[in-house]
Amino acid sequence: MAHPWWVNLAAVIPVAAYLVWRREGLALSGRQLLTGGIFAIAFGFLEAAVVVYLRAATGLLPGGGGAVAAGMPEALYRQADLLAEIPQRLLHVEVMREAATMVMLTCVALLASRRFRERWAMFLWTFAIWDIVYYGGLRVLVNWPGSLRDPDVLFLIPVPWLAPVWFPLAVSGLMIAAILAARARKAAEKS
């Protein structure tokens, strides 16, 4: 699964969010979800392009190698080992880019609603779509990932998060389903 161990807890977020939202549903309009989704699609592709540029600039387009670290699957270790090959200055830029990404997704969520529950839902909605499109963009641009089992560095803040590609895609898919189900419940109450 994912490393460090606590990254696996991300799989709980869609279920927990739905359980919180199911009583009242979510008061997000189709227009809000569509607009947030369009933003997330564009932003996901932009992020994929930036990662392609970063990997090209550092000579790290798909591939790499490394020894196996104790307690970490070999493929995930190789991904972690690639981080050591990125110049420290670029690694700092990458961390700042990730922080800026979270700020931008948060701003979209803050603009979507006045209530915390809908803001949280919009953040998760845009994050999930952004994440799925990011991997799709990488697949189109550089034919990576080759498999859903391919390892990836998901995030660098506060430490590198490592997992097979299927893990963030599954969490994102579940999040989209949870938001749509909670919103459908609200729409059914209005009918």
What average pLDDT is seen over the chain? 87
pLDDT at 51: 87
N- to C-terminal Cα separation, the chain: 42
DSSP states of 36-78 as a string?
HHHHHHHHHHHHHHHHHHHHHHHT-SS----PPPTTS-HHHHH
Confidence of residue 75 (pLDDT cuts 50, 70, 90): low
pTM above 0.85, yes or no: yes
d(C-alpha 47, C-alpha 112), whole Å: 22
d(C-alpha 25, C-alpha 23), whole Å: 6
- Tens of pLDDT along 87-126? 888 889 889 999 999 999 999 999 999 999 999 999 999 9
